[in-house]
Amino acid sequence: MSIKILFENIDVDGIDSFEVYRKLGGYNSVEKALKNMSPEDIVEEVKKSGLRGRGGAGFPTGMKWSFIDKAPGKSHYLIYNADESEPGTFKDRHLMQYNPHLLIEGLILSCYAIRSNTSYIYIRGELMYVMRILEKAIEEAYANGFLGKNILGTDFSLDIYCHPGAAAYICGEETGLIESLEGKRGNPRLKPPFPALNGLFGFPTIINNVETLATVPWIINNGGEQYAKIGIGKSTGTKLISACGHINKPGVYEIELGLSVEEFIYSDEYCGGIKNGKKLKAVVAGGSSVPILPAELILKTAKGEPRLLSYESLSEGGFETGTMLGSGGFIVMDEDTSIVKNLLTFTRFYRHESCGQCSPCREGTAWMEKILNRIVEGKGNEKDIDLLMDIANNIEGNTICPLGDAAAWPVQSAIKHFRDEFLIKPEIV
Amino acid sequence: MKFMEPKVSFSEETLKLSEKIISHYPEGRQKSALIPILHLAQAEFGGWLSVEAMDYVAGLLKLKPIEIYEVATFYTMYNLKPTGKCVIEVCRTGPCWLMGAEKIIEHLEKKLGIKAGETTTDGKFTLKVTECLAACGNSPVIQIGEKYYVNMDVEKADNLIQNLNEGMRV
Ligand SMILES: Cc1cc2nc3c(=O)[nH]c(=O)nc-3n(C[C@H](O)[C@H](O)[C@H](O)COP(=O)(O)O)c2cc1C
Ligand code: SF4
Ligand code: FES
């Protein structure tokens, strides 16, 4: 069994209650931090840990925090990104649902680190039942003096509020999220200015993913250096991988970064192999937006080395022969899967979710969906494939936010690795 | 100018809840409460947002009606026309599709005699297709109200609708 940081106590009965959570050492890190550490010390430990954002981009968390404008007299906000909308990703929901106090503990430390006294948890609207779990946990934390005014008798005060969205993938993008939290359409903003200088209500704002901040209590309890010893190279620590598709044991797994993809797919500790004894055909390893890889390339890099679950190994070979760790949404497809039909569902998703501000994204995703529909109906030809590639290439890099790229990459990679399949009419699954 | 009475209004309890929500945001930033309060409005006013409902929310939050319409038309969870008593949302994105969502959608369309997006003539069911619900490890997934129904197949979906239908006969 590998080390568990986020899932250590997740199966304990009643862990979602303050009482049980506290009994098992929960909130100890808050006591340690507020009594013996300065905000700068926390940032320093997180920097040392090498922790990288788990929302998809993998940006070093400690570094992000040090960008915040801490001018006195200014409000600072920390937003907890619980929008979890990337197809294939369901790790944050799992954590929030089963271990809500861990998130609150992480949030208190992180707000202290950036000197924020107000934090919003932006949770996708469909997860109302999870929001109620969080709200109950927040209430318990207030009742026990871990939230509110003068926490543990110190001069640090913090309020946390849950804020539901209303179904729009684009509100997971940090500036779309800020717009949405201000009560507007979720149209992403042009950057700069970056949120760390000018974010929510025009004040310095940090946005972090649920899993990212849930890691902070362990780092404060055990030290950043200890955390950095786990994992491989610059991919320190553990990562939640949500695995789905044609596998025997779908679910959320906490893995030590550096685990081999082969072990993850085939060992009984994780996915338990391909369903019905079939062969593996392809994997989308980091949520719907990352490039798809055929079995050969997800199990081994083009150089013939075993592919590992780490930021570096998954991107080895660039987009020619590699992919990305992304959000850790691991979608497995067996030998009978139509890559094109699966792609159509992704492209339809991005068309539906495009906020419409940039014409390449708005028009391009609609065209791609139309062409893919034609192809899936068996009415496509070689020219359609070239046209698809051309549209995807013209979206990539030409939009305000990365949703455009996210829509282009699945198309480009599917054509690159599975071109022959675009002219075969798929069966209904 | 004579003040017009709004055609709809929140119950005492919902009004209290909205005030609490508004208090979560700084002074003058009550617009931030719009999305949560539209959820309350949709629940209180029969599962959809009429122009009257949106205008009422505008008054409550001291916003221009257009600011409400802009938001209500952007987010998928808001229904801008009446729905059936029971709204069935079937996830259709990749992971659910891989596990057979398409067959479920086809089956429900046939069973209910409507296309996705439509409401049965008796007003009981609205069938919708939706995008990834963050439960792909238990796909295919159907959402009805706040509840998720997981690991669905054609037969289970069929039974689910049957039971709901019978439950509604009372
Ligand atoms: C279209 C789009 C959707 C996104 N959705 C999410 C999401 O659902 N959850 C999330 O944490 N990050 C999401 N992100 C990434 C965020 O913009 C942001 O990078 C992240 O929340 C930062 O947190 P981290 O540094 O802790 O990873 C999305 C980005 C884009 C471009
Ligand atoms: S890339 Fe797409 S989603 Fe992002 S701002 Fe442009 S139109 Fe909106
Ligand atoms: S694709 Fe249906 S829940 Fe994710």
Q: Is the CB of A337 within 6 Å of ligand 2?
A: no
CB of residue A404 inside a 6 A radius of ligand 2: yes
- Check CB contact under 8 Å for A182 and B103: no
CB nearest A201 (choices: B29, B94, B134): B29
Please say if the pLDDT value at position A425 is more than 90. Answer: no
Q: Which residues of A touch B78 (CB under 8 A)?
A: 166
Give every CB contact of residue A316 below 8 A, 6+ residues apart in sequence: A301, A302, A303, A305, A307, A322
Which pLDDT value is given to residue A125? 97
Residue B1 has pLDDT above 70, yes or no: no
**Closest-CA residue to A90 (of A224, A192, A240):** A240
What average pLDDT does this structure show over B115-124? Answer: 96
The rounded distance, in Å, linking the Cα atoms of A335 and A141 is: 49
Cβ atoms within 10 Å, residue A163: 23
Which pTM value belongs to this model? 0.96
- Reported as type and span, the H/E element at residue A82 is strand A77-82
What is the layout of strands, in order, in the sheet containing B125-130? B125-130, B86-91, B142-144, B147-149
Work out the minimum CA distance from B146 to partner chain A, whole angstroms.
Answer: 6
Kindly report the protein residue whose alpha carbon is nearest to atom 20 of ligand 1: A55
Question: Which residues touch B14 (CB under 8 Å, ≥6 apart)?
Answer: B40, B44
Q: So what's the pLDDT on residue A2?
A: 78
Residues of B in contact with A362 (CB under 8 A): none
Q: Best interface-test mutation with A: which of B21, B38, B70, B98 has the largest number of A CBs within 10 A? A: B98
Cβ-based contacts of A84 with chain B (< 8 Å)? 134
Contacts of A199 (CB under 8 A, 6+ apart): A77, A79, A178, A205, A206, A207
Q: For residue A328, how many other CB atoms are within 10 A of its CB?
A: 27
Predicted local confidence at residue B72, as pLDDT: 98
CA separation for the pair A385, A419 (Å, rounded): 8
Is the confidence at residue B3, as pLDDT, over 60?
no
Ligand 1 mean position, distance from CA A174 (Å) = 6
| CA A384 to ligand 1 center in whole angstroms | 32
> What's the CA gap between B70 and B68, in Å, rounded?
5
B33–A128 C-beta distance less than 8 A: no
Mutate to test the interface with A, among B71, B79, B136 (most CBs of A within 10 A): B136
Whole-angstrom distance, CA of residue A165 vs CA of residue A180: 8
State whether the Cα torsion B117-B118-B119-B125 is positive or negative. negative
Q: Average pLDDT in the A39-53 region?
A: 97
Q: How many Cβ atoms are within 10 Å of A348's Cβ, its own excluded?
A: 22
Residue-wise pLDDT tens digits, A164-199: 999 999 999 999 999 999 999 999 999 999 999 999
Give the number of the ligand closest to the Cα of residue A52: 1
Closest by alpha carbon to A265, among A315, A307, A323, A327? Answer: A307
| Amino acid symbol at A314 | L
Residues of A in contact with B143 (CB under 8 A): 126
Residue A345 to residue B76: CA distance in whole angstroms: 17
A82's tokens: 């619980």
Q: B111 CA to chain A: closest CA distance, Å?
A: 19
Q: Which two tokens stand for residue A173?
A: 């993008």
Q: What pLDDT score does A389 carry?
A: 98
Residue A397, classed as helix, strand or coil, is coil
Is residue A429 over pLDDT 90? no
Contact B125, B88 (CB under 8 A): yes
pLDDT digits (tens, 9 = 90+) for B127-136: 999 999 999 9
ipTM for the whole complex:
0.95
If pLDDT is split at 50, 70 and 90, which confidence band does A424 have? confident
Look at the domain B12-74 and name its fold.
Answer: Arc Repressor Mutant, subunit A (1.10.10)
Mean pLDDT of A144-155: 97
**Nearest-Cα residue of chain B relative to residue A163:** B36
- pLDDT surpassing 60 at residue B2: no
Binary contact (B131, A186; C-beta < 8 A)? no
Q: Is the pLDDT of residue A266 over 90?
A: yes
Confidence of residue A1 (pLDDT cuts 50, 70, 90): low
pLDDT band at residue B170 using 50, 70 and 90 as cut-offs? very low
Q: Which of B50, B67, B39 lies closest to B6 in space, CA to CA?
A: B50
Chain A closest CA to B29's CA: distance in Å? 7
CA distance A405 to A370: 18
Cα nearest neighbour of A186 on chain B? B74
User: Does residue A339 or residue A72 have the better pLDDT?
Assistant: A339
Q: Which of A166, A349, A429 sits opposite B100 (nearest CB)?
A: A429
Which one of A87, A167, A201 has the shortest CB-CB distance to B76? A167
Residue A404 CB less than 6 A away from ligand 3: no
Is a pLDDT exceeding 90 seen at residue B82?
yes
The mean predicted confidence, pLDDT, of chain A is: 96
Gap from CA of A218 to ligand 1 centroid (Å): 22
pLDDT 10s digits, A362-391: 999 999 999 999 999 999 999 999 999 999
Residue A371: the pLDDT is 97
pLDDT category, A73, cuts 50, 70, 90?
A: confident
Tokens of A65: 């925090």
pLDDT digits (tens, 9 = 90+) for A204-237: 999 999 999 999 999 999 999 999 999 999 999 9
Residues of B in contact with A183 (CB under 8 A): 31-35, 67, 71
> For the residues B86-104, what does the mean pLDDT come to?
97
Q: For chain B, how big is the Rg over CA atoms in Å?
A: 19
Q: Nearest CA to CA, how far is B101 from chain A (Å)?
A: 8
- State which CATH number among 1.10.10.10, 3.40.30.10, 3.40.50.11440, 3.10.180.10 fits the domain covering B86-167: 3.40.30.10
Average pLDDT of the residues in B87-101 = 97
Pair type for strands A292-294 and A280-284: antiparallel
Q: Does any ligand 3 atom lie closer than 6 A to the CB of residue B157?
A: no
Q: Where are the domains of chain B?
A: 12-74, 86-167
Phi, psi of A294 (to 5 degrees): -70, 160
